[in-house]
Structure 1
Amino acid sequence: MLENPDQLDEVTLNYTPPISVKKDTITYKVDAFTSGEERKLREVLKKLPGVEVDREGNVKVQGKKVTKVLVEDKTFFTGNSKLAVNNIPADAVDKVEVLDNYSEVAMLKGLEDSDDMAMNIKLKADKKKFVFGDVEAGGGIKKRYVIHPNLFYYSPKTNVNFIGDLNNIGIKSFTFRDYLEFEGGISKLLRDASGYFSLIKDDFAQYLNNQDFRENTNQFGALNIRQSISNSTDVSGYIIASNSKTQTETNTLNSYQNISTPFLEERMVTNSLDNFFTIGKITLEYNPSYEEDLTYNTFLKTTNSANNGLINTVSPNQDNRIQTISDIISFNLKQNISYSRKLSKDHTATLEASYNFQNDTPITEWLTNRQILQGLIPLEDDTMFNILQIKRSKSHDINVVVKDYWVLNNFNHLYTSFGVNASFNSFYNLDGQQLSNGSFNNFNTANFGNDFRYRFFNTFLGLEYKFQIGIATFKPMLYYQFYNWHTKQFDEQYSNDKGLLLPKFTAKVEFNNSEKLNFKYNLNARFPAINQLANNFILSNFNSVFRGNQQLENQLYHTASLSYYKFSLFRQFNLNLNTTFNKRLETIKTTTELNGIESFNTTVMFDQPEHNCNVSGTISKKVNKIRYRLGSDFSYNDFYQLLNDDTQLNISKSVSGTFGIETHFKNYPNLEINYTKNLNRYNANNTINTFENDRFEAILEYDFLKNFIFKADYQFDNYQNKSLNIKNRFDVANASLFYQKEDNPWGFEVSATNIFDIKFKQQNSFNSFIVSDTRTFVLPRIVMFKLSYKL
Structure 2
Amino acid sequence: MKYALLFFLTFLGTTTLFAQEFKISGLIIDTGTKEPLEAATVFAEAVKDSSLVVYSITDAKGRFELEGKTALKKINLIVSFVGFKSYTQVIDLSSQREYDLKEIALSSATENLNEVLVVGRTPPIRFKQDTTEFNVASFDTKKDANVEDLLKKLPGFEVDANGAVTVNGIPVDKVLVNGKPFFGNDPTIATRNLTKDIVEKIQVVDSRTRTQAFTGEQSDGENKTVNIKIAKDKNRGTFGRVAAGAGTDERFEYAGIANYFDNDLRLSVLGGGNNINRAGFNFGEVSSTFGRGAAWSITGGGNDGGITNSRVGGANYADDWGKSTNQATANYIYQASNTTQDRRSSAKSDIPERDPDTDELVYRTQFSESMSNSYSTNDRHRFNPEYETVIDSAYYIEIRPDFSYNESFNTSNSEEDTFDENREVLNESEGFSSRTSFSRDFRNRLSVTRRYGSGGGYIRLDLNNSYSKDESNSSNQNEVIAYVPGTQGQVIDEENSLIRDQIIEGNQQNNNLYTRLRWKAPIVKDLFFFSAEYSYNQDLREDENFVFDQNRDGALDTEQSADFSNENVAHRPELGLEYRDKKLNIEVEGAFIFRELASNETITDVAFDNYFEALEIEVDLRYQFTKNTRLRFGYDLENDIPNINQLSPYVDISNPTFIRTGNPDLDPTTQNRFNLNFNTYDVNKEANFYVYSNYSASNNEIISNTINENGFRRSTFANVDGNYTFSSGSGYGKNFKLDSLNSVRLNLAMNYNLRQRQNLVNGTQFSALNESYGPRVDFNYTYSEKVSARIGYNPNFEYNKFENENQNDIYILRHEASADLRFTFGNLEFENVLNYNYNSNIQEGFQKGSLFWNSSIQYSILKDNGLITLRGYDVLKQNNNARRIVQGQGYVDVQSLILQRYFMLGFSYKFNTLGDKPPGYDRGDGGRRYRGRRY
Normalised by the length of structure 2, the TM-score is: 0.75
Aligned residue number for residue 406 of structure 1: 521
Structure 2 CA distance for aligned equivalents of residues 733 and 541 of structure 1: 42
For residues 93-144 of structure 1, give each alpha carbon's deviation from its aligned partner in whole angstroms, at most 9, with x where no partner exists: 2211111143323233335646331110012345422110100011112332
Structure 1 CA distance for aligned equivalents of residues 313 and 458 of structure 2: 41
Structure 1 CA distance for aligned equivalents of residues 246 and 763 of structure 2: 59
Letter in 2 for 1:261: R
Structure 1 CA distance for aligned equivalents of residues 510 and 838 of structure 2: 47
Structure 1 CA distance for aligned equivalents of residues 888 and 658 of structure 2: 15
For 1:649-688, what aligned pairs fall within 5 Å after superposition?
649-684=767-802, 685-686=804-805, 687-688=808-809
For residues 136-162 of structure 1, give each alpha carbon's deviation from its aligned partner in whole angstroms, at most 9, with x where no partner exists: 011112332211101122222321122
Check the 8 A contact 1:27/1:96 in 2, yes or no: yes
The one of 445, 452, 463 aligned to 1:336: 445
Check the 8 A contact 1:226/1:237 in 2, yes or no: yes
For residues 221-266 of structure 1, give each alpha carbon's deviation from its aligned partner in whole angstroms, at most 9, with x where no partner exists: 1211123222032222111111111111222111122433212222
Check the 8 A contact 2:537/2:570 in 1, yes or no: yes
Aligned residue number for residue 430 of structure 1: 546
Structure 2 CA distance for aligned equivalents of residues 731 and 279 of structure 1: 40
Structure 1 CA distance for aligned equivalents of residues 652 and 417 of structure 2: 24
For residues 647-675 of structure 1, give each alpha carbon's deviation from its aligned partner in whole angstroms, at most 9, with x where no partner exists: 11111111121011112331431111110
Report SS of the residue matched to 2:747.
Answer: strand
Aligned residue number for residue 748 of structure 1: 868
Report SS of the residue matched to 2:715.
Answer: strand
For residues 559-609 of structure 1, give each alpha carbon's deviation from its aligned partner in whole angstroms, at most 9, with x where no partner exists: 1111000001221111111111111112222111123443222123x1413
Aligned residue number for residue 418 of structure 1: 534
Give 1:62 shift.
0.7
The one of 169, 172, 180 aligned to 2:279: 172
The answer to whether 1:227 aligns with 2:339 is no
Aligned residue number for residue 49 of structure 1: 155
The answer to whether 1:359 aligns with 2:462 is no
Give 1:518 shift.
0.3
Give 1:170 shift.
2.0
Aligned residue number for residue 758 of structure 1: 878
Structure 2 CA distance for aligned equivalents of residues 372 and 569 of structure 1: 68
Change (3 A) 1:724 1:615: farther
For 1:262-281, what aligned pairs fall within 5 Å after superposition?
262-281=365-384
Aligned residue number for residue 179 of structure 1: none
Check the 8 A contact 1:720/1:726 in 2, yes or no: no
Letter in 2 for 1:505: V
Letter in 2 for 1:278: H
The one of 577, 587, 603 aligned to 1:465: 577
The answer to whether 1:296 aligns with 2:406 is no
Report SS of the residue matched to 1:45.
Answer: helix
Aligned residue number for residue 490 of structure 2: none
The answer to whether 1:242 aligns with 2:335 is yes
Change (3 A) 1:382 1:722: closer
Structure 1 CA distance for aligned equivalents of residues 216 and 831 of structure 2: 43
For residues 56-81 of structure 1, give each alpha carbon's deviation from its aligned partner in whole angstroms, at most 9, with x where no partner exists: 11111111111111001101122322
Aligned residue number for residue 547 of structure 1: 661
Structure 1 CA distance for aligned equivalents of residues 540 and 665 of structure 2: 18
The answer to whether 1:508 aligns with 2:622 is yes
Structure 2 CA distance for aligned equivalents of residues 457 and 773 of structure 1: 42
The one of 422, 429, 432 aligned to 1:323: 432
Change (3 A) 1:724 1:516: farther
Report SS of the residue matched to 1:170.
Answer: coil
Aligned residue number for residue 701 of structure 1: 822
More divergent stretch after superposition (394-403 vs 28-37): 28-37
Aligned residue number for residue 30 of structure 1: 136
Give 1:384 shift.
6.2
Letter in 1 for 2:308: N
Aligned residue number for residue 777 of structure 1: 897
Structure 1 CA distance for aligned equivalents of residues 449 and 556 of structure 2: 58
Change (3 A) 1:157 1:174: closer
Letter in 2 for 1:710: F
Aligned residue number for residue 117 of structure 1: 224
Report SS of the residue matched to 1:296.
Answer: strand
Aligned residue number for residue 250 of structure 2: 143
The one of 706, 710, 713 aligned to 2:830: 710
Report SS of the residue matched to 2:153.
Answer: coil
Please, which runs of 5 or more residues in structure 2 have no aligned partner? 1-86, 89-117, 283-300, 353-362, 420-425, 485-492, 738-742, 912-935
Structure 1 CA distance for aligned equivalents of residues 494 and 565 of structure 2: 28
The one of 664, 679, 698 aligned to 1:584: 698
Check the 8 A contact 1:67/1:80 in 2, yes or no: no
Give 1:479 shift.
1.1
For residues 606-647 of structure 1, give each alpha carbon's deviation from its aligned partner in whole angstroms, at most 9, with x where no partner exists: 141311111122111111211111111111111111111111
Give 1:364 shift.
4.1
Structure 1 CA distance for aligned equivalents of residues 892 and 449 of structure 2: 51
Change (3 A) 1:540 1:650: farther
Aligned residue number for residue 618 of structure 1: 731
Change (3 A) 1:553 1:419: same
Give 1:519 shift.
0.8
Give 1:367 shift.
2.3
Structure 2 CA distance for aligned equivalents of residues 372 and 309 of structure 1: 23
Letter in 1 for 2:396: D
Aligned residue number for residue 307 of structure 2: 215
The one of 676, 696, 699 aligned to 1:562: 676
Change (3 A) 1:326 1:412: same
Structure 2 CA distance for aligned equivalents of residues 394 and 174 of structure 1: 31
Aligned residue number for residue 350 of structure 1: 460
Aligned residue number for residue 810 of structure 2: 689
Structure 2 CA distance for aligned equivalents of residues 174 and 595 of structure 1: 48
Aligned residue number for residue 608 of structure 1: 721
Aligned residue number for residue 7 of structure 1: none
For residues 659-715 of structure 1, give each alpha carbon's deviation from its aligned partner in whole angstroms, at most 9, with x where no partner exists: 11112331431111110011112223442111110100112232222x122232111
Change (3 A) 1:692 1:23: farther
Check the 8 A contact 1:37/1:703 in 2, yes or no: no
Structure 2 CA distance for aligned equivalents of residues 403 and 524 of structure 1: 20
Aligned residue number for residue 262 of structure 2: 155
Give 1:280 shift.
1.6
The structure with more radius of gyration: 2
More divergent stretch after superposition (673-682 vs 118-127): 118-127
Letter in 1 for 2:209: S
Change (3 A) 1:524 1:564: same
Letter in 2 for 1:486: A
Structure 1 CA distance for aligned equivalents of residues 543 and 702 of structure 2: 20
Report SS of the residue matched to 2:189.
Answer: helix
Normalised by the length of structure 1, the TM-score is: 0.88
Give 1:274 shift.
1.1
Q: Percent identity?
A: 18
Give 1:769 shift.
2.7
Structure 2 CA distance for aligned equivalents of residues 53 and 87 of structure 1: 15
Letter in 1 for 2:584: A
Aligned length: 740
Structure 1 CA distance for aligned equivalents of residues 820 and 169 of structure 2: 21
Aligned residue number for residue 573 of structure 1: 687
Check the 8 A contact 1:610/1:639 in 2, yes or no: yes
Change (3 A) 1:469 1:61: closer
Report SS of the residue matched to 2:878.
Answer: coil
Aligned residue number for residue 555 of structure 2: 440
Change (3 A) 1:643 1:328: farther
For residues 262-294 of structure 1, give each alpha carbon's deviation from its aligned partner in whole angstroms, at most 9, with x where no partner exists: 122221221111122122211111123543211
